Amino acid sequence: MGFSEKIRRYGAYSRNQSDSSQVGTLPRAHRASIQGIQIGNWEGNGAESYGESRQVMKKHIVIALAGNANVGKSVIFNHLTGMHQHIGNWPGKTVERAEGTLHFKGYTIDIIDLPGIYSLSTFSIEEIISREYIAIENPDLVINVVDASVLERNLYFTLQLIELETPMIVALNQMDMATKKGIKIDHKRLEKILGVPTIPTIAPSHTGLYELLQAAVNIIEKRNGTPSKIEYGKEIEEKIQKLSKLVERFQLPFPARWVAIKLLEGDKQVEGKIRQLDPRTLSVVKRLVKEIESVHGHSCSTVITSERYEIAGCIAREVQQIVPPLMPPIRERLHTLTTHGIFGYPIMAAIILSVFFGIFSFGDYTSGLTSDLLYGLEHIFQNLFGSGIVAKLVWGSIGEGLISGISIALPYLLPFYFVLYILEDSGYLCRVAFLMDNVMHKMGLHGKAFIPMMLGFGCNVPACLGCRIMETERERLLTIFVVTLVPCAATTVIILGLVGAYMGFEWAFLLYVVDLIIIFALGRAAFKALPGEPTGLIMEMHDYRVPHAQTVLKQTWFRLKEYIKMALPLIIAGSFVIKLADILNLLEPTADVLSPITVSWLGLPAITGIALIFGVLRKELTLIMLATLLGTSNFAEALEPVQMIVFTLVAMLYIPCISTIGALVKEVGWKKAVSITIFEIAFAIVVGGAANRLLLLADIL
């Protein structure tokens, strides 16, 4: 008996007829606050001209994009919404919320790009967010973006969406990749089995996107699109129906059948809600679970998962034909080479070193160029506003703050983000995570944590923001703590400009080695101190592909904009405080207050305390201020070799900069941010003092 015979359909739909004048705006409890207007993206494909659109755009639709990671969801989102996007966080979470707006056939359509997930369980924050948004905020429609080249794997998530009984469309994306793999899919047959419109798409070339929107409008206007009912084996289906009848009396935002399935799977969140309403229901659940486990000999959740995968496999086998290629494609040979247990590591090292060398070379040249250019405006400012206290404050805070922000963001962050998203979109970053998994597990993390750590060598701010890819709060906190210890590009200026220039490259390299050892040791200690268990690395390595230029550029721009919005106000505020202290002659008294630490413990000149304070604003300012305070740019005249090592070690380990502190506050909150900041400052002082005594005792410098 074919699988389709086991499916009972809930309703029909039409993709060829539409009458938008018959249906008004559907009532919504939660609307996205997007006001952008996109004109002309669909010109010639049913979109009205500007004048016409202003008259007819009265109806409002909310569509959620849902699917696995790396299925082309973001490319579809970017094509549909253009630049009319808003990137924020989900309320109370550090998971990004991407929203955008477009106009199509008289409708204003808000698109919500849900996090890329593989199931609707509660194993990660992203999964909880997605399922609660679909079930509670109840969008008008869900577009399930599916990777056609790995159909069976993606259908597992599709089946779970079907269980939520939400109106939906399947976007059968990456059809070109499926064709290259020798996979032919009968999308009409898949459409008939699932009971929802199934639209073949190739997002980078816009193929099928107009048809996707047309199908969405048809479903909204006909008020259908409810998918087919997916039935499990007899013994499981009987238990689901019994539980469904029990939970129907509860006023839950989720469908009764879905709640019943989740109870059998042991979903803790659903169990908690049922426990509050009627604890006796859980006793029935336990009895039914035991009956299923006695029949199958496995846990009930495993049985349901297995059946769901079997259904997905059955559907895939029924709708697709596979013609094996004559020889492995280049992308498969490239995958084998870059994930090889021996050759993969030198390839990874070569790529990472090339990336950083290119970015640091470009950043160093461009930073100096932009800094000189902008500081050249100072005399013009002084001619216009004079050199009084107010003028000094304005220039020292706003002027120098903007210069600091621009000369970091443009030279280092812009190319770094650009290259990062090229590597991500091509599929190489997930291979790096795979290669580094064993090493990162020693710190209680998995391979994904290496990605924000790699970011940290460019700038700690995007590294902290990049920790959102970690699945649990514990892992995010641990990864954020680790990446704040990674020497960023600005720290590299200190290491190479002081130790490297005056003591040789080998000593600078040794400091990097010491820092990596410290990172590993503190990461391991934090792993032991934080409660909880590490999770294994489960991530999809999608096929290699040519990066999509528009997507890479947009992601680069949004990240850069996010950094500027967050960092510049902090830099300006910090510049104001330090400049005010300078004008009021408070820096030298501050140096005297710090002398028990700087002179007695660290063995440094008292004035270096001020330089370290400036380093909180921006790390390379530490070196600039040190030259100013010492009255010479030849540090060998004022500092002993041991003092150079100690000063650099402290600057390398204490909290990176005020922008990073701002990123910490945003990601983990004030309390944890302050705790990390205080710990790292204290730890840097302890290590610096210990290094001073060990080096003097060893007498090797």
Which residue, chain included where needed, has tokens 């070196």? 623
| Residue 466 pLDDT | 76
> Phi first, then psi: what are they for 183, rounded to 5°?
-105, 125
Nearest to 459 by CA among 434, 492, 500: 492
**What pTM, to 2 d.p., does this model score?**
0.62
- The C-alpha atoms of residue 287 and residue 367 are separated, in whole angstroms, by 68
Which residue, chain included where needed, has tokens 């004008």? 583
In sequence order, the 6+-apart residues with CB closer than 8 A to the CB of 202 are 173, 174, 175, 176, 208
Half-sphere exposure (CA, 13 Å, Cβ side) for 609?
Answer: 22
| Residue 431 pLDDT | 85
pLDDT beneath 70, residues of the chain = 1-58, 83-96, 122-123, 224-225, 325-328, 360, 397, 401, 404-405, 407-410, 412, 446, 471, 531-540, 563, 566-568, 570-571, 574-575, 620, 628, 631, 633, 701
Structure tokens given for 469: 């890819």
CA 132 to chain centre: 20
Please report, for the chain, the start and end positions of each structural domain, with discontinuous segments joined by +: 3-222, 234-322
State pLDDT tens for residues 53-66. 333 444 889 999 99
User: What is each CA distance from 570 to 213, 378, 463, 489, 582, in whole angstroms?
Assistant: 42, 21, 18, 19, 18
Please state, as a whole number, how many other Cβ atoms lie within 10 Å of the Cβ of residue 691. Answer: 19
In sequence order, the 6+-apart residues with CB closer than 8 A to the CB of 92 are none
- Looking at domain 234-322, which CATH architecture does it have? Orthogonal Bundle (1.10)
* Residue 584 identity: L
- The C-alpha atoms of residue 23 and residue 15 are separated, in whole angstroms, by 16
| Residue 88 pLDDT | 61
- The C-alpha atoms of residue 422 and residue 417 are separated, in whole angstroms, by 8
Which residue, chain included where needed, has tokens 């650099």? 648
DSSP bridge pairs for 638: none
Return the exposure string of 572-604: e unless at least 16 CB atoms fall within 10 Å of the residue's CB, then b: bebbbebbeebeeeebeeebeebbebbbebbbb
| Residue 203 pLDDT | 87
- DSSP result, 490-552: HHHHHIIIIIIHHH-HHHHHHHHHHHHHHHHHHHHHHHHHS-S-PPP-----PPP----HHHH
Angle 587-595/549-583 helices, nearest 10 degrees? 90
Q: What's the CA dihedral at 128, 133, 134, 136 to 10 degrees?
A: 110
Structure tokens given for 335: 């995958």
Could you say which DSSP state residue 111 is in? E
Nearest to 358 by CA among 166, 489, 551: 489
- The C-alpha atoms of residue 81 and residue 446 are separated, in whole angstroms, by 34
Same topology, domains 3-222 and 234-322? Answer is no
Contact of 261 with 240, CB cutoff 8 Å: yes
- The C-alpha atoms of residue 277 and residue 248 are separated, in whole angstroms, by 12
- The C-alpha atoms of residue 317 and residue 315 are separated, in whole angstroms, by 6
| Residue 111 pLDDT | 92
| Residue 55 pLDDT | 38
Contact of 78 with 125, CB cutoff 8 Å: no
| Topology classification of domain 3-222 | Rossmann fold (3.40.50)
> Phi first, then psi: what are they for 224, rounded to 5°?
-135, -155
- The C-alpha atoms of residue 620 and residue 626 are separated, in whole angstroms, by 10
Structure tokens given for 521: 């040791």
Return the exposure string of 154-193: e unless at least 16 CB atoms fall within 10 Å of the residue's CB, then b: bbbbbbbbbbbbbbbbbbbbbbbbbeebebebebeebbbb
Nearest to 190 by CA among 221, 146, 231, 142: 146
- The C-alpha atoms of residue 378 and residue 255 are separated, in whole angstroms, by 65
| Residue 49 pLDDT | 35
| Residue 514 pLDDT | 92
| Residue 631 pLDDT | 67
User: Pairing state of beta strands 59-67 and 141-147?
Assistant: parallel
In sequence order, the 6+-apart residues with CB closer than 8 A to the CB of 650 are 602, 612, 684, 685, 687, 688
- The C-alpha atoms of residue 374 and residue 354 are separated, in whole angstroms, by 29
- The C-alpha atoms of residue 257 and residue 148 are separated, in whole angstroms, by 28
Contact of 141 with 63, CB cutoff 8 Å: yes
Please state, as a whole number, how many other Cβ atoms lie within 10 Å of the Cβ of residue 295. Answer: 12
- The C-alpha atoms of residue 510 and residue 68 are separated, in whole angstroms, by 43
Please state, as a whole number, how many other Cβ atoms lie within 10 Å of the Cβ of residue 51. Answer: 7
* Phi-psi category of residue 503: left, alpha or beta, with phi > 0 → left and psi -120 to 50 → alpha: alpha
Contact of 681 with 655, CB cutoff 8 Å: yes
SS (H, E, C) 127-178: HHHHHHHHHHHCCCEEEEEEEHHHHHHHHHHHHHHHHCCCCEEEEEECHHHH
- The C-alpha atoms of residue 465 and residue 452 are separated, in whole angstroms, by 8
